Amino acid sequence: MNEHMRLKLMLIDGERKTDAGAKELSRRDLGKKERRTRIVNAAYDLLREAGVDALSVIKVAERARVSPATVYNLFGTKGAILAQVFDQDLKAFTTVVGRARAADALDHIFKAISIAAGLYKEDPGFYRAIMHMRPNQADPDLYAAMRAPRIEFWRGMIHKAGEEGLLRRDANSGILSVLATQIASGVLAEWVSGVISADQLERETSYGFAVILMQYATPKGAKKLAPRIAALEKALAQYSRRRA
């Protein structure tokens, strides 16, 4: 288990203990919150252990030691449970990335991609399971939980690169973050389907990000991005020749 996976699981475990120790709520509300936490934790653990096929309301209820009716009453849909699972994992991932050392904001962006790829490699069953359930408008809870926070995560990192003078002032972090999320989602879909490895996912995602950021880079930022793009193009070309 790599250091980032170990830290992520430690953070999630810490959050669970914090939730379990909450005392400021009424006894009724505390009981409700505790049941919700158990249900989310059960879904998270089932996804990690057995994948998406194990994630039925009945199995989640059994693991959480509640009735299926309680699951429906507290969440309504399986998508709402998964939204909370994804939120729990994203919060831990964001903290892991925040603690990672990076030379500057651009380097931090690519460090985040590398950390994500490493987590996918360490725990493919969980991430393939949760990403396989691709959000759509028919499941608004899951759609909102998976798309909007990811866009906001990249928006913050891209905005920071602008603050450090690595991107021009006309770089719109909102638009660029949407585009970055689309790139990441497209590459991730190929990994989920088993078409590419986690290492290739990192290379392709990094290249896509580098290319769009280069369009708005200042001379200082371009000096950092140009060698990265050249190295990634070389690696991607070698990969294509091996696949041919």
**CATH number, domain 102-243:** 1.10.357
Q: What is the pLDDT of residue 112?
A: 97
- Residue boundaries of the structural domains of the chain: 3-80, 102-243
What's the pTM value of the predicted model, to 2 decimals?
A: 0.82
* SS3 labels along the chain: CCHHHHHHHHHHHHHHHHHHCCCCCCHHHHHHHHHHHHHHHHHHHHHHHHCHHHCCHHHHHHHHCCCHHHHHHHHCCHHHHHHHHHHHHHHHHHHHHHHCCCCCHHHHHHHHHHHHHHHHHHCHHHHHHHHHCCCCCCCHHHHHHHHHHHHHHHHHHHHHHHHCCCECCCCCHHHHHHHHHHHHHHHHHHHHCCCCCHHHHHHHHHHHHHHHHHCCECHHHHHHHHHHHHHHHHHHHHHHHHHC
Q: What is the pLDDT of residue 125?
A: 83
Q: At what angle do helices 27-50 and 57-64 cross, to 10 degrees?
A: 120
Q: What is the pLDDT of residue 19?
A: 55
* Residue pLDDT tens, the chain, 244 long: 666 666 666 666 666 555 555 454 445 555 788 888 899 989 888 888 877 766 788 999 999 999 999 999 998 887 788 888 888 888 889 999 999 999 999 999 999 999 999 999 998 888 887 776 555 544 666 666 678 889 999 999 999 999 999 999 999 999 999 999 999 999 999 999 999 999 999 999 999 999 999 999 999 999 999 999 999 999 999 988 887 6
Q: Are 120 and 198 in contact (CB under 8 A)?
A: yes
Q: What is the pLDDT of residue 67?
A: 92
**CATH number, domain 3-80:** 1.10.10.60
Q: What is the pLDDT of residue 25?
A: 44
Q: What is the pLDDT of residue 85?
A: 86
Q: What is the pLDDT of residue 82?
A: 82
